[in-house]
Amino acid sequence: MALPLEGIKIIDFTGVQAGPACTQLLAWFGAEVLKVERPGVGDVTRRQLRDVPDLDALYFTMLNSNKKSLTLNTKTPEGKAIMEQLIREADVLVENFAPGALDRMGFTWERLQELNPRLIFGSIKGFSEESPYADLKVYENVAQCAGGAASTTGFWDGPPTVSAAALGDSNTGMHLAIGILTALLGRAKTGRGQKVSVSMQDAVLNLCRVKLRDQERLEHVGYLEEYPQYPNGKFTDTVPRGGNAGGGGQPGWILKCKGWQTDPNAYIYFTIQEQNWARTCEAIGKPQWANDPAYATARARQPHIFDIFAEVERWLADKTKFEAVEILRKFGVPCAPVLSMKEIAHDPALRASGSIVEVDEELRGKYLTVGSPIKFSDFKPNITGAPLLGEHTDEVLGRLGYSAEQIAKLRQNKVI
């Protein structure tokens, strides 16, 4: 069966994580994604954090599956000419170079439109053009700090903290993928391509929307009732770090389970759902709390919420995180075990759903990678390996009309 994006040609002029994550998603859904890389060098992630000498690092393979690779020095006249040929027949060009790098190469948005008015041009930068930081090079954690995530993550008595989740990188790539698909639908109506830009700061902020909500609430009422600082601590004029507090109206916390002294992940996330309070009391062996005025409402519980969590921890002391969740789920308590990466890697359900996939590559052998978190009723993305550097150079140039002799000469001149 044809995949939904089959026939869409994407030039993947991206590197590291943010851009490659975007184009990888589109490749999974059927687009033909051609990665254009510097001859002899390629995407920096090919060599970063290698676990097997001389083999492409997992950092690269996990972000570039289902793609083809062409090596091309786009700063040479011959390389530019080849790139222009590719642009003329492409649907989408995606890049995430440092600000100004593509312009310096001669591929300004104006030039791209001249070459192909139907082209959709996807671009990722650290900051938007309006930002005073627009000229900065940006990596993941820089974006998390600039987008509001770091100042609101961690504990109130510690420094701003970054998340392990790639809020700046992969998340920005996902935003761009949505933008590109929207522009493709737009093009079907107008016949014209357009430029789609996403800044990493904006993509992080979009995920921090509840913290912007909290800033506005704080300015109106002076406190945030679901934060651990309420009602006993002090609020300033900015949203504080709330530790592991729940972000909505349902208080929650990470609680210790049996074995926490030796296992750093022997914890569950436990949520007190207002409408489920009576059953929660039953689950944790405190049925008397259901109608006790000191416990019966969220407002009554808030001043001593940590005493309640301490009591739940006493109940958890002889239960593993999995045993605890088995009990709590029967009472409708929103909860989950804190899963380690080892547990996730070996989770049969994640394998069965295709969210974690085992790929078998000729040189590397078997390795795990992520599969599509988006599930479709009509097809299941088939995750293949990542291309070797320049693996498809001859094939692509042959298709563009270059003879074997011409290709050999380009190689000799280090254009490819």
CA distance 137 to 194: 24
CA distance 330 to 259: 23
CA distance 339 to 345: 10
Measured from the CB atom, the residue of 167 and 281 that comes closer to ligand CAO is: 167
Tokens of 261: 């002294």
How distant, in Å, are the alpha carbons of 253, 272, 287, 333 from that of 300? 18, 13, 16, 20
Contacting residues for 35 by C-beta, under 8 A, at least 6 apart: 12, 14, 20, 23, 43, 64, 67, 68, 69, 70, 387
Interacting span for ligand CAO (CB under 6 A) from 48-56, 68-76, 328-336, 355-363: 68-76
Query: From the CB of 124, what's the least distance to ligand CAO, in Å?
Result: 5
For ligand CAO, the binding residue among 15, 122, 147, 240 (CB under 6 A) is 15
Give yes or no for residue 23 binding ligand CAO (CB under 6 A).
no
Q: Which of residues 77-106 bind ligand CAO (CB under 6 A)?
A: 96-98, 101, 104-105
**x/- letters, 116..135, toward ligand CAO (CB under 6 A):** --------xxx---------
Give yes or no for residue 415 binding ligand CAO (CB under 6 A).
no
CA angle 125, 242, 321 (to 5 degrees): 100
CA distance 262 to 321: 14
Give yes or no for residue 392 binding ligand CAO (CB under 6 A).
no
CA distance 170 to 200: 10
Interacting span for ligand CAO (CB under 6 A) from 36-44, 53-61, 187-195, 226-234: 36-44
Q: Which of residues 156-215 bind ligand CAO (CB under 6 A)?
A: 169
Identify which of 39, 53, 2 has the alpha carbon closest to the alpha carbon of residue 393: 39
Question: Is 237 in the active site?
Answer: no
Which of 56, 91, 169, 214 is an active site residue? 169
Interacting span for ligand CAO (CB under 6 A) from 2-10, 14-22, 46-54, 397-405: 14-22
Residue ranges binding ligand CAO (CB under 6 A): 15-19, 36-38, 72-75, 96-98, 101, 104-105, 124-126, 137-140, 169
Catalytic residues: 169
